[in-house]
């Protein structure tokens, strides 16, 4: 049995253990323990900040550039459409089923296998830091942000998310807006009050139809979607004096969140409150060493509409991993077993040819 085959088999066994252990966001303590134990069994010192687990290569040299290998070990909760036990790692027809198998367990264990392959190498041209982060699915502040300050200086990152092993060189950001319109209460049977719902409709229509003039070469246009609307009314016969709605804004690298907010403020009359401006759109240059290595391996660059921990990294990051984003958060989630093997081999090949 060759070394790569052993790494792949270990990765699959580890993924089975992770699937069998619930790890909802903010509840990842058990899978953090599994990952720490796996590293310790390989004689690699594991470090932990909250439910985040990380390790660095044995011959770490602060004079060399440092590459972060990152993926997450938290999952969403299983949806009602599951027909299989989400916590039973089941292999059927070359597919490994289970919650978190595709998003992002396959990426996580493949990256960890690649890290183990090079962890004890004496003459690496760069340093490696492996990090399994928590709270990615909720963009929680106890995740990647909580332990970046504990890591050595990072020059760039390879983020494991299911991209079919293609190169997500850009990624949309996210800004959630809480909007409120104020009217005046009155009896619905009479010509009384000022209906806040009717006042909100004009702004909702604007959010539906407005097109931001600047487009991103990788991410196309900023996208805005009204996703929630409500009033405080419990009675059918009261004209509502307030109407609240939520807007999901998918950002591109053509605008900062602050610029998007400024444009929105110029056009709507409702009160607009962003929940956060920290989940920014990101892009990595095509001539960055990570991207050049991926291109040399025949991979294709593209812009990703989905969010990852990449949004919270203050350094260049490339998103790439085995699996398919279309399977994420679906009932009876799965990853092909062969995809894990391909992920391990691709990560290793990329690190072998990477030059800073």
Residues 170-175 have a mean pLDDT of 97
Say if residue 36's pLDDT is above 70: yes
Provide the β-strand partners of residue 66.
127
Please give the pLDDT value at position 196: 95
Res 234: pLDDT: 86
pLDDT higher than 70, residue 1 = no
pLDDT at 95: 98
| Residue 290, number of CB atoms within 10 A of its CB | 23
Residue 225 has a pLDDT of 97
Q: Cα-Cα-Cα-Cα dihedral of 203, 206, 208, 211, to 10°? A: -150
Question: Is 185 within 8 Å of 296 (Cβ atoms)?
Answer: no
In DSSP notation, 163-203 reads BTT-EEEEE-EEEEEEEEEE-B-EETTTT-SB-HHHHHHHH
The tokens of 279 are what?
A: 């989940």
DSSP 206-272: HHHH---S--BTTTBS-EEEEEEEE-S--STTEE-SEEEEEEEEEE-TTS-HHHHHHHHHHH--SEE
User: Could you write out the DSSP letters of every residue in 129-171?
Assistant: EEEEESSGGGT-TTSHHHHHTTSPP--EEEE---BTT-EEEEE
**Rounded to 5°, angle at Cα 339 from 337 and 344:** 105
Query: Stretch 232-237: mean pLDDT, rounded?
Result: 89
Share of residues in the chain with pLDDT > 90 (%):
96
Distances (CA, A) of 118 to 229, 257, 273, 347: 52, 39, 47, 11
pTM for this model (two decimals)? 0.92
pLDDT of residue 176: 97
Per cent of the chain over pLDDT 70 is: 100
Q: Is the peptide bond before 104 cis (omega within 30 degrees of 0)?
A: yes
d(CA 36, CA 30): 10
Average pLDDT over residues 203-216: 97
Element (H or E) spanning 128, and its range?
Answer: strand 127-133
pLDDT tens by residue, 120-134? 999 999 999 999 999
Residue range 296-311, pLDDT digits in tens? 999 999 999 999 999 9
Inform me whether the pLDDT recorded for 33 exceeds 60: yes
Residue 41 CA to residue 39 CA, distance in Å, equals: 5
> pLDDT by residue (tens digit) across 77-92?
999 999 999 999 999 9
- Looking at every residue in the chain, the average pLDDT score rounds to 96
Task: Please tell me the predicted confidence (pLDDT) of residue 167.
Answer: 98
pLDDT range class, residue 331, cuts 50, 70, 90: very high
**pLDDT average, residue stretch 179-192:** 91
Closest CA to 226 of 191, 275, 284, 176: 176
Residue 125 DSSP label? S
Q: Give the pLDDT of residue 42.
A: 96
Stretch 321-342: mean pLDDT, rounded?
Answer: 97
- Supply the angle between the helices 106-118 and 337-353 in degrees, to the nearest 10: 40
pLDDT the model gives residue 190: 86
The CA distance from 53 to 271, in Å, is 41
Checking if the pLDDT of 13 tops 80, the result is yes
Evaluate if residue 172 carries a pLDDT over 80: yes
Q: Can you tell me the distance from the alpha carbon of 36 to that of 349, in angstroms, rounded to the nearest whole number?
A: 25
pLDDT at 290: 98
Residue 9, exposed/middle/buried by CB under 10 A (0-12, 13-18, 19+)?
A: middle
């Amino acid at each position: 049995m060759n070394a790569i085959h052993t790494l792949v088999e270990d990765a699959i066994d580890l993924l089975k253990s992770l699937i069998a252990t619930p790890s909802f966001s903010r509840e990842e303590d058990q899978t953090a323990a599994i990952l720490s134990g796996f590293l310790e069994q390989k004689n690699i010192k594991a470090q932990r900040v909250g439910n985040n687990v990380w390790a660095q290569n044995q011959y770490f040299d602060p004079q060399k550039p440092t590459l972060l290998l990152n993926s997450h070990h938290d999952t969403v909760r299983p949806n009602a459409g599951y027909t299989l036990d989400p916590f039973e790692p089941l292999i059927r027809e070359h597919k490994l089923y289970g919650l978190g198998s595709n998003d992002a367990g396959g990426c996580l264990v493949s990256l960890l296998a690649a890290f183990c392959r090079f962890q004890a190498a004496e003459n690496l041209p760069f340093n490696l830091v492996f990090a399994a982060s928590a709270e990615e699915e909720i963009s929680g502040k106890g995740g990647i942000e909580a332990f970046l300050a504990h890591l050595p200086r990072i020059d760039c990152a390879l983020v494991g998310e299911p991209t079919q092993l293609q190169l997500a060189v850009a990624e949309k950001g996210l800004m959630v807006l809480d909007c409120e319109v104020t009217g005046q209460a009155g009896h619905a049977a009479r010509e009384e009050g000022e209906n806040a719902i009717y006042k909100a409709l004009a702004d909702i229509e604007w959010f539906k139809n407005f097109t931001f003039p600047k487009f991103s070469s990788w991410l196309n246009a900023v996208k805005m979607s009204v996703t929630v609307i409500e009033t405080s009314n419990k009675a059918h016969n009261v004209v509502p004096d307030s109407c609240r709605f939520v807007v999901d804004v998918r950002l591109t690298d053509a605008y900062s969140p602050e610029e998007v907010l400024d444009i929105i403020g110029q056009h709507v009359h409702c009160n607009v409150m962003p929940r956060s401006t920290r989940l920014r759109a990101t892009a990595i240059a095509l001539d960055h060493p990570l991207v050049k290595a991926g291109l040399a391996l025949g991979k294709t660059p593209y812009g990703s509409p989905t969010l990852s921990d990449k949004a919270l990294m203050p350094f260049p990051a490339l998103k790439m991993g085995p699996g398919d984003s279309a399977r994420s958060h679906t009932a009876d989630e799965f990853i092909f077993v062969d995809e894990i093997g391909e992920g391990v081999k691709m990560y290793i090949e990329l690190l072998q040819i990477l030059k800073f």
